[in-house]
Amino acid sequence: MQLGFIAPSAVKSGAWVVGATEGPTLLPAARKADKASGGAIHRALSVSRFTGKPAQVLEVIAPAGVQATRILLVGLGKSEDFDVNRAEGAAAAALAKLSATTEAEVSFEIDAPKGAKAKRANLAAHLAMGAKLKTYTFNHYRTKDLAEHESKLKKVTIFTDDPAAAKKAWSRCEAVAEGMFLARDLVNEPPNILFPEEFARRAKALAKLGLKVEVLGAAAMRKLGMGALLGVGQGSERESQLVVMQWQGARKKTAQPIAFVGKGVCFDSGGLSLKPGASMMGMKGDMGGGAAVMGAMRALAMRKARVNAVGVIGLVENMPDGKAQRPDDVVKSMSGQTIEVLNTDAEGRLVLADALWYAQTRFKPKFVIDLATLTGAILIALGGEHAGLFSNDDKLSERLAEAGKAVGEPVWRLPLGGGYDKLIKSKIADMKNIGGPSAGSITAAQFLQRFVVDKTPWAHLDIAGVAWQDSEQKPLIPSWGTGWGVRILDRLVEDHYEDR
């Protein structure tokens, strides 16, 4: 798909998208389109329920007097609430309408309404972002009816007063979108294709962006004493891997990095604590945290972020063969702490225990954030709206909450505390890998906190409810995998951790 920013001109072909705020009040471009079409928009409005609410679309097909094949009037909501997220939503709504058509071209002429909360160039870039995110498809495995599933759209044009500034704003959006697409692809890939070594190969392919990528196999991890991670993978035919990605974009090569750690369980059968069939479906997505980390690293590299960042991804397949770890096994983690594994399905925390320890001891980062599809309990608590946030650091938490809000990936902080920590005491080892029947997401986070080195600021994002989406309710997420995590991490870096 070709994407361009140009100064407003007459639309000669394809769909012409214009905007209206709540009322509806037509913005100048919409008035122009109405006039050019001899009042077609007004006539259509008089027989429609369109009020200008966000994401509403009024379609006028083949209007006389204009060269565009159709006019789409999209609702922008109240002008004072109009921001970059609304711009993305408006573009996505227009594209959703076009997906039922054979339209190959679309031009957006959406003026910033008075009092809107964003600069014009940014609005233009985010119209493009909304359109781009909406065009994502995952059709690698279809051999039939491809035409039906592929977008017909070839060209998206955004009209803006300042194309140069819009292009500049777009270049960082594009990097983030590419990172999200990578994360979505990884989550959507089936587990017979995307096993730990294949995941690692895809990470290595990012070296062309200037990322340094190392892969540790099982033998290297055994030397480091990563008994917790390796225990999870030992029932699988597929070798466990640890991916280490480094982006050095700070002015000072030696500047202290920030660190992201991802859970990369390429398939979670539950192990010997086998999941029932219905719960096992979708467990190809249990590497969503790792996918987000890899996507974020791609975005940072693509936009040449002025920061030093490392991404560590623990990759395993949790399977139940004769060599599999048993409920009752005791394993020793890289930190030296021992863990009684009472449920082999609580495997994510075992993988993260070693990946977190490795990331902190090797890189001594400013902070470490882990992302993991860690607990079903977080789905019960927060559904698909918020990711769960757990942290030992208020500042990092606030920054994450702000970044999440700004980019439409909101998080909700849940508590940690000694009372919960008691629930993971073991009768024979330093801790056990499950708590009681209640507060499942919190006891999982308490477990992870035991692998935070000294006072390193740490945040854990439980993304089990947001890494994939079964309903069609999120306009910017056309696929099962959402790519959740890439945007919030990128934004956090942009707002607080880049050299100025």
For residues 288 and 384, which CB has a smaller minimum distance to Zn ion in the complex? Answer: 288
Taking CA atoms, 410 is separated from 123, 259, 293, 333, 398, in Å, by 21, 20, 17, 32, 12
Least Cβ distance, residue 464 to ligand BES (angstroms): 4
Alpha helices in 189-340 (DSSP H): 196-204, 218-224, 227-233, 277-280, 288-302
Q: Looking at beta carbons only, is 19 or 264 nearer to ligand BES?
A: 264
Q: Does 462 bind Zn ion (CB under 5 A)?
A: no
Catalytic-residue membership of 275: yes
Structural contact between residues 325 and 307, judged by C-beta atoms closer than 8 angstroms: no
Size of the site for Zn ion (CB under 5 A): 6
H helix or E strand, kind and range, residue 443: helix 440-449
Distance in Å, CB of 70 to ligand BES, minimum: 41
Whole-angstrom distance, CA of residue 148 vs CA of residue 145: 5
Other beta carbons within 10 Å of 110: 25
| Shortest reach from residue 327's CB to Zn ion, in Å | 12
User: Of Zn ion, ligand BES, none, which one does residue 376 interact with (CB within 5 to 8 Å by kind)?
Assistant: ligand BES
> Does 345 participate in binding Zn ion (rule CB under 5 A)?
yes
19 or 231: CB nearest Zn ion: 231
Shortest CB 460 distance to Zn ion, Å: 14
Q: Under the criterion CB under 5 A, does residue 457 sit at the interface with Zn ion?
A: no
Q: Given the complex with ligand BES, which of 406 and 442 has the nearer CB atom? A: 442
Q: Is residue 427 annotated as a catalytic residue, yes or no?
A: no
CB-nearest residue to ligand BES: 376
79 or 333: whose CB is closer to ligand BES?
333
- Of 349, 399, 432, 491, which is the active-site residue? 349
**Shortest separation between residue 412's beta carbon and ligand BES, angstroms:** 17
Asked whether position 348 contacts Zn ion by CB under 5 A, the answer is yes
- Which of ligand BES, Zn ion, none is residue 464 near (CB under 5 to 8 Å by kind)? ligand BES
Please say which residue, 130 or 285, places its beta carbon nearer to Zn ion.
Answer: 285
Query: Which partner in Zn ion, ligand BES, none is near 370 (CB below 5 to 8 A by kind)?
Result: none
Under 8 Å between Cβ of 22 and 78: yes
State how far the alpha carbon of 482 is from the alpha carbons of 92, 137, 288, 310, in Å.
Answer: 15, 11, 9, 22
Give the separation between CA 437 and CA 294, rounded to whole angstroms: 33
Q: Which C-beta is closer to ligand BES: that of 335 or that of 373?
A: 373
Rg (CA), the chain: 24
Partner in contact with 369, chosen from ligand BES, Zn ion, none, beta carbon below 5 to 8 Å by kind: none
CB–CB of 289/373 below 8 Å? yes
CB of 420 to Zn ion, least distance (A): 20
Specify whether the CB–CB gap between 215 and 304 falls below 8 A: no
| Interacting residues toward ligand BES by CB under 6 A | 268, 286, 343, 345-348, 373-377, 379, 434, 440, 464
Given 53, 201, 275, 405, the catalytic residue: 275
Binding mask 275-314 for Zn ion (x = CB under 5 A): -----------x----------------------------
Q: Distance of CA 298 to CAs 3, 38, 203, 214, 286, Å?
A: 21, 48, 9, 15, 20
Q: Is the CB of residue 17 less than 8 Å from the CB of residue 109? A: yes
Instruction: State the first-to-last Cα distance of the chain, in angstroms, to the nearest integer.
Output: 33
Q: What is the DSSP string of 131-196?
A: HHHHT----TT--S-HHHHS----EEEEE-S-HHHHHHHHHHHHHHHHHHHHHHHHHHS-TTTS-H
What is the DSSP pairing of strand 431-432 with strand 241-248? unpaired
Least distance (Å) between residue 374 CB and ligand BES: 6
Task: Please tell me whether residue 268 binds Zn ion under the rule CB under 5 A.
Answer: yes
Instruction: List the strands of the sheet with 338-341, edge to edge.
Output: 329-332, 338-341, 431-432
> What are the residue numbers of the active site?
275, 349
The site for Zn ion (CB under 5 A) is made up of: 265, 268, 286, 345, 347-348
